[in-house]
Amino acid sequence: MKLIARYYDLDAAEPLVLIHEDDAAAIGVKENDRVSISGPRSAVALVTCSDTLVERGVVMMPGPVMERCAVREGDEVEVIYSSKPDSVRSIRRKMDGEKLSREEIESIVNDILDNKLSKIEVSAWLTSLYINGMDIDEIADFTKSMAHTGDIIAFDRQPVFDFHSFGGVPGNKITPIVVSIVAAAGVMIPKTSSRAISSACGTSDFVETFCDVELDGPSLKRISEEVGGVFAWGGGMNIAPVDDIVIKIEHPLGINPRAQMLASIMSKKLAIGANYLLVDIPTGTGTKVPTIEDARVYARDMMDLGEKLGIHTECAITYADQPVGNAVGPNLEARECISILEGAKHPASVIEKACDCAGIILDMAGIPGGAAKAREILESGAAHRKFMEIVVAQGGSPELKSEDLKPGQFSEDIVASKSGYIHAIHNKDVVAIAKAAGAPNDKGAGLMIYKKKGQRVEAGDVLMTIYADNEAKLRRARETAIKYPPIDIEGMLIKRVSNMNVRK
Amino acid sequence: MKLIARYYDLDAAEPLVLIHEDDAAAIGVKENDRVSISGPRSAVALVTCSDTLVERGVVMMPGPVMERCAVREGDEVEVIYSSKPDSVRSIRRKMDGEKLSREEIESIVNDILDNKLSKIEVSAWLTSLYINGMDIDEIADFTKSMAHTGDIIAFDRQPVFDFHSFGGVPGNKITPIVVSIVAAAGVMIPKTSSRAISSACGTSDFVETFCDVELDGPSLKRISEEVGGVFAWGGGMNIAPVDDIVIKIEHPLGINPRAQMLASIMSKKLAIGANYLLVDIPTGTGTKVPTIEDARVYARDMMDLGEKLGIHTECAITYADQPVGNAVGPNLEARECISILEGAKHPASVIEKACDCAGIILDMAGIPGGAAKAREILESGAAHRKFMEIVVAQGGSPELKSEDLKPGQFSEDIVASKSGYIHAIHNKDVVAIAKAAGAPNDKGAGLMIYKKKGQRVEAGDVLMTIYADNEAKLRRARETAIKYPPIDIEGMLIKRVSNMNVRK
C-alpha cells in the first residue's frame, strides 16, 4: 500500500510507526505486527494503529526510521506486511520449555541488539528464561553470543585476571582495594564494573568521584598493560552491549533470570579474554543470594560455565547479612575505600574482605601467602602507590586524599530509641534510605552506619547519619528511615519461651 | 523535580513520557519506570529516556496524559518517582508458579484495562500464564474479573442460551443458521461473535456484509427479547473489554494461554447472563485443537468452568480436518450461509454441522428431536423467516437474497496438476491464500473450494477459484497458493512398502 510519510518525534528504541486502523486492515497487519517500508531504501518497523491520531493514507515515522528508508516528510512510501523474525519462533520454543540451539540463541541475541524484537517479545523472552531456564550448554552459547555482539579486547600481556562481585550488599567498596593489591603484586587485572542498577551505589558510581571511569577499549588495554589494572565502567565500552537493552526490560519486571545473569557476567569476562576469575558471592538476608545453599548453587554454575568457556573460575562466598563497612553512597564509600589504602585500620570488615579476595587471586596467580600476603601489600603502602598510579592514569589528581571526598551538606542523625544490642541491619532498607537521599546520582548522598550487628547501644546513641545534597531529599530519606527502620535493637534475650508462651 | 510540559504526538495506548536521561537520574527513575506528573491534576506515566530527543528540564507528554494532568504546552509540572502497581508483584508471583488470589487476579485485570501496566508487564503476565497456567478456581476468578470490567446485560426474558465456537477452521459459517433455527423454536439466543483474529473471516466479518453487527447493549437486549436472537459483534459492546487489550499483546507472540482463552470465552457468556452454553470445538490438523485428546481436555475445562460459574455447558467436538463447506471469505461465506437458509441442499457439511449444533441446544432447552428437529425447522422455512426477522431488526434489507452477495471481480482458477484422489486440504494454507487475497477486509475476497477430501479429480479439473477485489492482491494470493499448495492429490496407493523400500 502506498502511504505518505510524516515525521513524528518518538523515542527510537523501538522503531514504531503509526498508521490508520483502516490502512492497517488493508495492508493486513494488526497492532504490534511488522511492516516493511520502502522508499529509496527499506526498513522494517513495528505497527501502532489509531483511528484518531493519524489520517488515512499516512504513515507517521520516527526520525531514525525515515533515515533508514532515506525518505523525507511528504514522500510516498510502499508499506507491506513483513513477517516476524525467526527468533520469535525460538522464543516460543523457550516458552514451551525446549532447549535452544546455538544458532537460535545467537539470532535472539543479535535481534535484540539490532532492535528487531519489540519490548513485548523481549519481555516474553526474559520471562520464559526466568521460568524455564537454560542448561549449562545453552548458557555457554548464550554467553558467547553476548560477548560477540560487542568488542573483543585482546591483551598482549598475559595472563588476564579478573574479579567480579554479584553485589546486592550495600557498602561493598572493596574493588579498588582488591585491584590495587593484585596489580601491586605484578598481576594484571583489567577490572570493569557497573553502575548501580537497583542498588544505592555501584563501584563505578563511587570510583567516578575521584577519577574518570569512562575508558574506551584501547585505553583500558594500554593502562592495564602498563600499570597492571584499571577501575573502569564496563558500560562505557562496547563490551557485550546487548546487556544494556536487556536490563531496561528486566528492571521493570524486577527479574534477573539465572541464565541471563550468568551469561551477562561471563560475556564481559570473555570479551576481555580473562584467563582467571574470582567471583565474590555476597550471601545473606536481603541480598540477591539469601542462603549458603543458594550461594553454592551459583558457585557451581559459575565454575561449570567458566570451565565450558576456558576461564579458570573460583568463587568466594562472603558474609552479607549487613552492609560491608560503615559508608554507603558515592563520596562516603570513596572516602572509606581510599582511607583504607592510606593506612586506616578500620572498618575491619572491608579490610578483611578485600584481603581475602585479593589473596585468592594471588594464589591463582601462583604467588604464595594468600590473604596474609595481600594484607602485607596493603600495609606496606604498595597497594596505595599502585592505586594512585591507576587513579592518575584514569585522569584523577596525583594529590588525591580520602578527606577530599565530602559528604552532602545536609545531614541528620538517627538515634537509638532504646538500649540493647543491634539485632539486625536490613540491607534493603539501608539501600532505600540512601536512594531516597539521592544516591547514586547525588554524590554526597548516603549514610554512615556507626553501629553494626551484635554491638551494645544505649538509648540516644547515634546509630547512623544520613547525608544529602539538598533538604527535600534529606526529608524524603528520613521519612523512608521512619517507615522502614533499618536497624533492630533487642535485649540479649531474644525470645522467652515458657508454658504460658508469652513473648517478651 | 519541576519540568516544563511539551506535547508530542504518540499513540496513547501506553502513557509514555519522554525525559532527558540526566533528569531521569535526578528523579531517581530509569527507562520503563513510572513517574507521577502533577499539574492542576495528577497522572501516572511510564518513562522513556533519551539524551538526544529531549532537552533537560522538559517532559514530553502525549495528549491524553496532558489532559489527565490538565496542563498545556509550556506549563510547569512536578515529576516524581511513582512505585509499581501491586499487580506487578502478583505477576511476579505467577512467574514463580504461585496460585493467585481473587484480589490479585482482579487487580491485574483492572490494571490492564486502565493501562496501568506497560506492554512489558502484560507480556510477562501472558507468558507466565502460558507457561505456568492457572487452576480452575483461578480461571473462574479470572473469568469473573474480566466480565466485571465491562457491562453486564440483564435479560428480562429467561433463560438465556448461547453458542460459541473455538474457531480455527476456515469456512465455518454455521452461526447464523444455528441462531435462526434455535430462535425459530422459541429459544432465546443473544449470540455475540468476534471478527477474525488470525483467521480469514470471523462470523462478524461475513454477517456485516448483509446487516449491521455493531449493536449496543440495549439493542442486543431488545432484539433478542423481541425476535429471539441476534448475530452481533461482541467487540461493539463494552463486554469484557480487557480482552481487546490482551489480544494486541498475544497476537505478536502467537500465544493464547489456556487460562486466558477460557476466561475470555466465558467472561462474555457471564456478561450476558447465559444459563446454557454449547461450545463447538473444531478438531483437526491445522486448527487450534489438533487431536481428539486435546479436544476432550478443552471440553472438560469448559464444562468444569461452566459449573463453577453457574452456566450449564456442553461441548460438541466437530470434524475440522478440512474447511467447512465450500466458501471462505466474507461475501462468499454469507452467500453460502444464506443459500442454505433459503433451502439449498448443499454443502452437506455446513447443513449437518449447523443442525447437529442446533439440535443439542434444543435438547438443552427441553425441546425433543435433536438434530432431526433442527433440520425440520430449517427445511420448513421457519429458520429462514426467523433469520430475515433478525436481519431486518439489525438494519438489513427485507429483500435480502443470497445472490446479492457477490464475489470479488478478479478471479483465478487453481487446477489439478495430476489425476488422483484429494488426500488433504490444508486449513492454514487456505487461510493464508484468502488473507493474501484481502479477506476479511476486502469483502469480495476469498475462495471457493470445489473438491473436498476423498473426491476423485482428473488433471485439469478446477480445484478452487480465488477471488479478490483488486488485481495486486489476486496476484499475491496466487503466489501464496503456489508457495503453499493447499490441496494434496495422491493415487489411492499412498505409500508402497516393499523390501526395496521404494516410495511410489
Condensed to tens digits (0 to 9), the pLDDT of residues B416-460 reads: 989 999 989 999 899 999 999 999 989 999 999 999 998 999 999
Q: Which of A32, A127, A441 sits opposite B25 (nearest CB)?
A: A441
- Hey, which CATH number is domain B2-82, 1.10.3720.10, 1.10.10.10, 2.40.40.20, 2.60.40.1180? 2.40.40.20
Q: Where exactly are the structural domains of chain A? A: 2-82, 87-133, 161-399, 410-490
**Please, which residues have CB within 8 angstroms of residue B288's CB and are 6 or more apart in sequence?**
B166, B167, B168, B256, B282
Whether B30 and chain A come into contact, CB under 8 Å, resolves to yes
Same CATH fold assignment for domains B87-133 and B161-399:
no
Could you give the CA distance from residue A484 to residue B110 in angstroms, rounded to a whole number? 29
**Please, which residues have CB within 8 angstroms of residue B439's CB and are 6 or more apart in sequence?**
B196, B200, B201, B205, B328, B329, B330, B445, B446
Whether A97 and chain B come into contact, CB under 8 Å, resolves to yes
For domain B161-399, say whether CATH 3.40.1030.10 is its number: yes
Do the Cβ atoms of A173 and A336 come closer than 8 Å? yes
Single out the residue of B42, B47, B83 nearest to residue B65, CA to CA.
B42
Spell out which residues of chain B touch residue A53, defining contact as CB-CB under 8 Å. Answer: 9, 11-12
Single out the residue of B310, B87, B286, B72 nearest to residue B200, CA to CA.
B286
Single out the residue of B68, B50, B55 nearest to residue B4, CA to CA.
B55
Could you give the CA distance from residue B374 to residue B277 in angstroms, rounded to a whole number? 17
Whether A130 and chain B come into contact, CB under 8 Å, resolves to yes
User: What CATH architecture is A410-490?
Assistant: Alpha-Beta Complex (3.90)
Q: What is the mean pLDDT of residues B189-209?
A: 91
The per-residue pLDDT for range B126-183, each reduced to its tens digit, is: 999 999 999 999 999 999 999 999 999 999 999 999 999 998 899 999 999 999 999 9
Question: Would you state the pLDDT for residue A504?
Answer: 36
At CA A212, angle to CA B50 and CA A325, rounded to 5? 100
Could you give the CA distance from residue A14 to residue B14 in angstroms, rounded to a whole number? 13
Question: Would you state the pLDDT for residue B501?
Answer: 38
User: Which of A60, A127, A483 has the most B C-beta neighbours within 10 Å, making it the best mutation to test the interface with B?
Assistant: A127
Chain mean pLDDT for chain B:
91
Q: Provide the shortest C-alpha distance from residue B316 to chain A (in Å).
A: 28
Spell out which residues of chain B touch residue A124, defining contact as CB-CB under 8 Å. Answer: 123-124, 126-127, 253
Question: Would you state the pLDDT for residue B502?
Answer: 38
Do the Cβ atoms of B432 and B309 come closer than 8 Å? no
Question: Would you state the pLDDT for residue A240?
Answer: 83
- Phi, psi (rounded to 5 degrees) for B379: -75, -25
Element spanning A105, H or E: helix A102-113
The per-residue pLDDT for range A248-260, each reduced to its tens digit, is: 888 888 888 999 9
Spell out which residues of chain B touch residue A31, defining contact as CB-CB under 8 Å. Answer: 13, 248, 251
Whether residue B441 and residue A25 make contact (CB cut-off 8 A), yes or no, is yes
User: Which of B253, B431, B470 has the most A C-beta neighbours within 10 Å, making it the best mutation to test the interface with A?
Assistant: B253
The per-residue pLDDT for range B278-317, each reduced to its tens digit, is: 999 999 988 889 999 999 999 999 999 999 999 999 999 9
The per-residue pLDDT for range B235-259, each reduced to its tens digit, is: 878 888 888 889 888 888 888 899 9
Single out the residue of A101, A84, A107 nearest to residue A34, CA to CA.
A84
Taking 70 as the pLDDT cut, the residues of chain A under it are 9-13, 491-504
Whether residue B124 and residue A126 make contact (CB cut-off 8 A), yes or no, is yes
Q: B87-133, what's its fold?
A: 1.20.970
Whether B201 and chain A come into contact, CB under 8 Å, resolves to no
| Beta partners for residue A191, in sequence order | A231
The per-residue pLDDT for range A381-406, each reduced to its tens digit, is: 999 999 999 999 999 999 999 999 99
Whether B6 and chain A come into contact, CB under 8 Å, resolves to no
Question: Would you state the pLDDT for residue A499?
Answer: 47
Question: Would you state the pLDDT for residue A493?
Answer: 54
Question: Would you state the pLDDT for residue B207?
Answer: 97
The per-residue pLDDT for range B203-229, each reduced to its tens digit, is: 999 999 999 999 999 999 999 999 999
Question: Would you state the pLDDT for residue B368?
Answer: 95
- Cα B251 to chain center, whole Å? 11
User: Which of A2, A8, A11 has the most B C-beta neighbours within 10 Å, making it the best mutation to test the interface with B?
Assistant: A11
Whether residue A128 and residue B127 make contact (CB cut-off 8 A), yes or no, is yes
